Amino acid sequence: MSAKKRSVRFIHADAYETIHLADFIYQLMRCSIALDFDGREAKPGSNGLRDHGTKFRITPTMICRLFPNKEPL
């Protein structure tokens, strides 16, 4: 079965630059930012974990609080 080609059209996009670290730490302490640690076994039955990516999740409304510079594209 062949995969359908899909396209995504963005009507609005913003560019953020220069994160404000103090605000990031503050929001992290307030639990406004979720930390996803995706650790799995390297191989089934092994004793070691392998990091499959550590990510931060934040709502679009909260991300504005971390970046003082925002520019619409």
Query: Quick one: residue 18, left, alpha or beta (phi over 0 = left, psi -120 to 50 = alpha)?
Result: left
Q: What is the pLDDT of residue 51?
A: 66
Q: What is the pLDDT of residue 61?
A: 82
Domain boundaries, the chain: 35-65
Q: Are 33 and 58 in contact (CB under 8 A)?
A: yes
Query: What's the gap between Cα 27 and its chain centre?
Result: 14
- Residue (of 59, 57, 39) closest to 49 by Cα position: 39
Render each residue's pLDDT in the chain as its tens digit; 73 residues.
567 888 988 898 888 888 889 988 998 899 888 888 776 666 666 677 666 677 888 888 888 888 888 888 8
Q: What is the pLDDT of residue 66?
A: 87
Q: What is the pLDDT of residue 2?
A: 63
